[in-house]
Amino acid sequence: MFIFDVPAGWLPLLNPLWWPINVLLIGWIIALGIIAYRKPAAGVAGIACSLPLYLARVRFGWLPTTALELALIAAVAAGGFRLWRDGALRSVPSDPLRWPATALLLAGTAALAWSPDLRAAAGLWRAYLVEPILVYAFARRALNTETDRRWVVGALLTSGLGVALAAIWQWFSGIGIAEPMWVPWNARRVTAWYTSPNAVGLYLGPMIALFGGWMLDRRSFRRTRIAAALITAAGLAAIAATKSAGTWLGISAAALTLGWFTVGRWRTAAIAGIAIAGILLTPGVRIQITAKIQNPSGQNRLSLWRGTVTYLTATPANFIRGAGIHGFPQIQETFRDPRRQEPLIYPHNIFLNFWLEYGLAGLLAAGWVAVRLARITARALRQAPDGIRLGALAALAAILAHGLVDVPYFKNDLAILTWLMVTLALPLATPAGFTKKR
């Protein structure tokens, strides 16, 4: 049966409901398989709604898994079988990210060979590469209409609202916050059901960008735009309660992306330039930025990056192969000061994260995915404005910007969320959705 991998403060609320929650989880997994068979696009929406369920964990003998993984397998297996039975898999045009995604998967698979802990690495390879790309492949074939895409966005709205409301409730109650030092009112930082405030921002930041694009689309129903606006406001309030600076960096990148394709590139650039100049010329803001860099958290980031770059440049083998999947913990121990820095599993920079985990080939493959996706999506947006596509592109911009100082991909829910955003950003996988020229 499932156990709940949540902060201890949540357990008094969840343990009395242990049996009912387990029954609901098992019922949901079975129901999602049935739903996906009847309507594969609804199966994709079910996966999107299930992202927080990775916190419900279970073990079958030696194999650990999560409710999210089981729901994903049920949806993809049942929905994929339905697509195969209906002949839909043979009628889809060639995927524009087929080769970049394949290159990334191959680089990650190769990195298993030099991982210091093959068993742990295999689990991370499965959760962060195989399953997210599998969801992407399934979603590309299942989402054939605008209604299908709106179902997925609606599911993400539901999931994001749940996290936002939990964080807002936590701000007022103080219940379930992961660490005691974040509980006092003058230092309160909410964590929802995660173990750190940053996890809330990493999940909600891309959601807010997606909803922002949807709100800007005048073709959407008025009630839909109002709902998206209300949930966006709740998400922003939750992020403010986390006091996570990196999340605002991501939201700023998302806002620039939204402005670039709506207000215009030159106006957006001018507004951004004025805003940056205003920030840099305001003494109080400059002092706060300097304090952020000089505080223990900022210094720990710099230490992580210096140590990682030192390792990568030490030998040609390190430069090319990285450290292998789950290799960073051993590297960090060579330079970590136990009095100042906690053990971490990633260097908190998206470029270094991919480089260390999957090697130089993995980093280049991830860049190939990003550049190819950006070109296709930008071309599609210039041809025909689309709120969901624009919001998904802004969400990916938020992930990239936040990734400069954090880990926005290497987590069960975030990896799948990223590939769902990739799916929503691309034109539909139908003959009318894109041509081979793209």
- In the chain, count H helices and then E strands: 19, 3
Torsion of CA 152, 155, 161, 162, to 10 degrees: -140
* pLDDT surpasses 70 at 22: yes
Question: What pLDDT shows up at residue 434?
Answer: 41
Q: How far apart are CA 422 and CA 424, in angstroms?
A: 6
Same domain, 131 and 235: yes
Contact 129, 145 (CB under 8 A): no
**Residue 257, both tokens:** 């992306």
CB atoms within 10 A of CB 391: 30
Same domain, 251 and 398: yes
Q: How far apart are CA 213 and CA 254, in angstroms?
A: 9
Burial 248-268 (b: 16+ CB within 10 A, else e): bbbbbbbbbbbbbbbeeeeeb
Q: With H, G, I as helix, E, B as strand and everything else as coil, classify residue 58.
A: strand
From 73, 91, 109, the end of a domain falls on 91
- For the chain, how many residues are written? 438
Same domain, 53 and 194: no
Q: Percentage of the chain with pLDDT > 70?
A: 89
* pLDDT surpasses 60 at 287: no
Contact 89, 79 (CB under 8 A): no
Same domain, 86 and 145: no
Same domain, 323 and 347: yes
Same domain, 218 and 241: yes
Spacing of C-alpha 272 from chain mean position: 25
Q: Specify if 348 maps to a domain.
A: yes
* pLDDT surpasses 80 at 253: yes
Contact 111, 322 (CB under 8 A): yes
Burial class (CB in 10 A: 0-12, 13-18, 19+), 228: buried
Cβ within 8 Å of residue 130, ≥6 positions away: 105
Burial 156-184 (b: 16+ CB within 10 A, else e): bbebbbebbbbbbebbeeeebbbeeebbe
Q: Which residue has the higher pLDDT, 395 or 382?
A: 395
Comparing 139-148, 255-264, 323-332, the range with the smallest average pLDDT is 255-264
Q: How far apart are CA 20 and CA 427, in angstroms?
A: 41
Same domain, 53 and 182: no
Question: What pLDDT shows up at residue 39?
Answer: 95
Q: Specify if 369 maps to a domain.
A: yes
Same domain, 32 and 153: no
Comparing 213-222, 398-407, 425-434, the range with the smallest average pLDDT is 425-434
Comparing 13-17, 252-256, 264-268, 282-286, the range with the smallest average pLDDT is 282-286
From 91, 112, 127, the end of a domain falls on 91
Q: Specify if 430 maps to a domain.
A: no
Same domain, 79 and 108: no
Q: How far apart are CA 227 and CA 225, in angstroms?
A: 5
* pLDDT surpasses 90 at 284: no
Assign 3-class secondary structure to 255-280. HHHHHHHHCCHHHHHHHHHHHHHHHH
Same domain, 73 and 96: no
Supply φ then ψ for residue 236, to 5 degrees. -65, -40
Please compute, for residue 355, the number of CA atoms within 13 A of its CA located in the half-sphere on the CB side: 17
Task: Identify which of 246, 44, 71, 242 has the alpha carbon closest to the alpha carbon of residue 147.
Answer: 44
Q: How far apart are CA 254 and CA 241, in angstroms?
A: 20
* pLDDT surpasses 50 at 436: no
Please give the average per-residue pLDDT across 11-19, as a whole number.
91
How many structural domains compose the chain? 2
Q: Specify if 298 maps to a domain.
A: yes
Same domain, 83 and 112: no
From 35, 62, 91, the end of a domain falls on 91
Q: Which residue has the higher pLDDT, 29 or 382?
A: 29
Confidence of residue 216 (pLDDT cuts 50, 70, 90): confident
Please give the average per-residue pLDDT across 70-94, as a whole number.
87
* pLDDT surpasses 50 at 330: yes
Burial class (CB in 10 A: 0-12, 13-18, 19+), 57: middle
Q: Specify if 192 maps to a domain.
A: yes
* pLDDT surpasses 70 at 275: no
Name the residue range of residue 87's domain. Answer: 1-91
Q: How far apart are the first and last CA of the chain?
A: 47
Q: Specify if 438 maps to a domain.
A: no
Please give the average per-residue pLDDT across 171-185, as a whole number.
92
Same domain, 281 and 197: yes
**Residue 390, both tokens:** 């624009």
Q: What is the mean pLDDT of the chain?
A: 88
Tell me the sheet residues that pair with 66.
57
Q: How far apart are CA 88 and CA 228, in angstroms?
A: 32
* pLDDT surpasses 90 at 342: no
Element (H, E) at 426: none
* pLDDT surpasses 60 at 205: yes
